[in-house]
Structure 1
Amino acid sequence: MRTGVMWSRIRVWQDTGQGSLSERERGVFRGQGTLRLLYKHRGSSESLPQAQSTSPGCSSTMAPSAFKNFLVTFLMPEKCYERFFVNFHMNGACLRFVMSRVMGFLILLDTLLAQLPQLLKILWRRSADGLSLTSALLQLYAFSCPVVYAIAHHFPLFAWGERLITLTQTAAIVFLILYYRGRTLPGILFLLAFGGAIFLLASYAAAAVVSAMQASCLPALIASKVFQAGTNHSNDSTGQLSSLSVLLSWAGSLGFIFVSLQETGNWLATVSHTLSACLSCVLLAQVLCPDATKKKSE
């Protein structure tokens, strides 16, 4: 008798929208998701209870997909996933969170891997033709500034270890440029002198000097791109310049632009990173459009 009454109440609720359902009556429909359809049909603004299915037949539909696991693990919290892909609602806070996470990944890729494709290309081709030594030296200086700053301020290694990796890769690129130009001994002496200079600056330099170096690293990086673009233009060729390294540098610049806009609010840093991104676009165009360069030389 009670079962018949319960079904009658459910039918009335479904057909007329009048009355209310008890928790037990709502639980009848949780297994197959029928309650969600009834709420949609009724147009109710009442929030749905979270349904947990225990039916073996529903395990495939209720189990989280690999796509959801990836997004929730790396890009967004589960509540943002529900808003985007279940409720189809573009929430501003969630969008900013996802953009921050994506830009963080771009910055990490730039910091860790931007120099690696260039290094591997030089080793693979056994040549450093087309690479500007001045540009490489400016990059070496730019990447050494954060390392000196971190050591001087006794930051833990995990806070600047990726900068040390980038610095090591860039130092290897400078040495290979000298090596393939027949200047092996000057290259070795330069690396030894550079290592000693880093140690002395990090250990004994005044705080004002360290701060000035940190402030000058971004202008040095921008200048390095200007010199490399000028070398490409003069040679009518990009030589052994790695397109992947340029692409990662451009992506990292986009990440820094977003961070400077959203978190720091420093307009000078934003303008500097924007200029850096534009120069990376110029280098990328030079690498990806060699036909235009050849036609110009002809």
Structure 2
Amino acid sequence: MAASEAVVETSFMDPFKDVLVNYLMPEKCYDEFFLQFNLLHVDCLKIVISKGLGIGIILGSVLVKLPQILKLLGAKSAEGLSFNSVLLELFAITGTMAYSLANSFPFSSWGEALFLMFQTVTIGFLIQHYGGKTIKGLGFLVVYFGLLAVLLSPVTPLSVVTTMQASNMPAIIFGRLIQAGTNYRNGHTGQLSAISVFLLFAGSLARIFTTVQETGDSLMAVTYIISSCCNGVIAAQVLYYWNSSPALKKKKKTQ
């Protein structure tokens, strides 16, 4: 009797299988979708949506603060932006990045922190530079990247990184409260970029789902919930002060 040959199932998506399995879904989900044509498999749909959102957030984060940077460069002013708020935001971003690396979380669950870090550091320097404190701004860059190198090195215990991540929540709250207070006192949002604010708000909302789905880490999930609430406050202020500007405010004061 002739030996029976195993039937190898194929799919029209096979040319893209490596890319899909490596970046978007596990192989079992590929089989469910493209071999069994079970397109409503709930667990696999959650994985694909989470991975897709994560990749989208990371790609978006490359440019999310670029409008803010360009606005500062164009105006040659950082009026309305709080350096202390930027420092606290940078602390939170750095904590998330270090904590995720230490716990070997997938890049799709935290990768935007890397790009946000570089952009936030740039904004911090520009605030100092346009405030007439360029030397202080350069010192800020040197100190930050020096501390970052130590934090990401093996000499830093996991307990320190975990504590830093836990401290993100008050850092985010105070950082956003400082910026919100600055906006309220000024009666406008100054050089704050509406595009960047809304993108950050949307990204932090999406991160709640991807964090729960990909890491299951409650500490990071709560951090993103708080971040979303705080970013929502700033976004609401941008809308409220939409028709206000530094020039208009000064004009009213002189009348």
TM-score, normalised via structure 1 length: 0.60
Question: Which residue in 1 is equivalent to 2:131?
Answer: 181
Mapping of residues 200-279 of structure 1, within 5 Å: 200-203=150-153, 204-264=155-215, 269-279=220-230
SS of the equivalent of 2:80 reads: coil
Unaligned runs of 5+ in 2: 1-22
Question: Which residue in 2 is equivalent to 1:62?
Answer: none
Mapping of residues 100-139 of structure 1, within 5 Å: 100-109=50-59, 111-139=61-89
Mapping of residues 65-214 of structure 1, within 5 Å: 92-93=42-43, 95-97=45-47, 99-109=49-59, 111-149=61-99, 153=102, 163-203=113-153, 204-214=155-165
Q: What is the CA distance between 1:129 and its match in structure 2?
A: 0.8
| 1:208-239: CA deviation from partner (whole Å, max 9, x where unpaired) | 22222233235423432222122111111001
Contact kept, 8 Å, 1:107 with 1:251, in 2: the verdict is no
The whole-number CA distance in structure 1 between the counterparts of 2:162 and 2:133 is 34
Contact kept, 8 Å, 1:112 with 1:163, in 2: the verdict is no
Q: What is the CA distance between 1:267 and its match in structure 2?
A: 5.3
Q: What is the CA distance between 1:96 and its match in structure 2?
A: 3.0
Distance change (3 Å), C-alpha of 1:130 and 1:78? farther
SS of the equivalent of 2:77 reads: coil
Q: What is the CA distance between 1:258 and its match in structure 2?
A: 1.1
Identity %: 41
Distance change (3 Å), C-alpha of 1:164 and 1:280? closer
**1:280 counterpart = 2:224:** no
The whole-number CA distance in structure 2 between the counterparts of 1:112 and 1:226 is 25
Higher RCO (CA-CA < 8 Å; seq separation 6+): 2
The whole-number CA distance in structure 2 between the counterparts of 1:175 and 1:249 is 20
Q: What is the CA distance between 1:155 and its match in structure 2?
A: 6.8
Letter of the 1:115 counterpart: K
Contact kept, 8 Å, 2:61 with 2:116, in 1: the verdict is yes
Contact kept, 8 Å, 2:50 with 2:214, in 1: the verdict is no
SS of the equivalent of 1:187 reads: helix
The whole-number CA distance in structure 2 between the counterparts of 1:143 and 1:273 is 11
Question: What is the RMSD of the two structures over their aligned residues, measured on CA atoms?
Answer: 4.0
The whole-number CA distance in structure 2 between the counterparts of 1:265 and 1:155 is 13
Contact kept, 8 Å, 1:147 with 1:164, in 2: the verdict is yes
Q: What is the CA distance between 1:200 and its match in structure 2?
A: 3.0
Distance change (3 Å), C-alpha of 1:119 and 1:292? closer
Question: Which residue in 1 is equivalent to 2:20?
Answer: none
- Counterpart selection for 1:289 from 237, 240, 246: 240
Letter of the 1:280 counterpart: N
Q: Which has the larger radius of gyration?
A: 1
